[in-house]
């Protein structure tokens, strides 16, 4: 499995409300700060990575997949 690497990017988006456990919020904030990017960017990239690396390829996005 490839390793998750944070990128700095901006995309069109849709607003959603989501709640994070405090510890996860702190971890994501720290990663964002260390990579000079936003909390939202880290969350979106992590979700994309998770979906593209699921065993069920039904969720894999053909545009962002490098397989």
- pLDDT tens, residue by residue, 28-56: 999 999 999 999 999 999 998 998 888 87
What integer is the mean pLDDT of 1-22?
80
Q: Provide the percentage of residues in the chain whose pLDDT is more than 90.
A: 49
Q: Which residues contact 61 (CB under 8 A, 6 or more apart)?
A: 48, 51, 52
Which tokens in the block code for residue 32?
Answer: 């964002």
Is residue 63 scored above 80 in pLDDT? no
Q: pLDDT over 70 for what percent of the chain?
A: 76
């Amino acid at each position: 499995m490839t390793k998750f690497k944070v990128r700095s990017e901006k995309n069109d988006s849709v607003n959603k409300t989501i709640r994070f456990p405090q510890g996860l919020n702190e971890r994501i904030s720290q990663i964002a700060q260390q990579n000079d990017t936003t909390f939202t960017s880290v969350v979106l990239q992590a979700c994309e990575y998770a979906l593209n690396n699921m065993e069920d390829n039904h969720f894999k996005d053909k545009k962002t997949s490098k397989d």
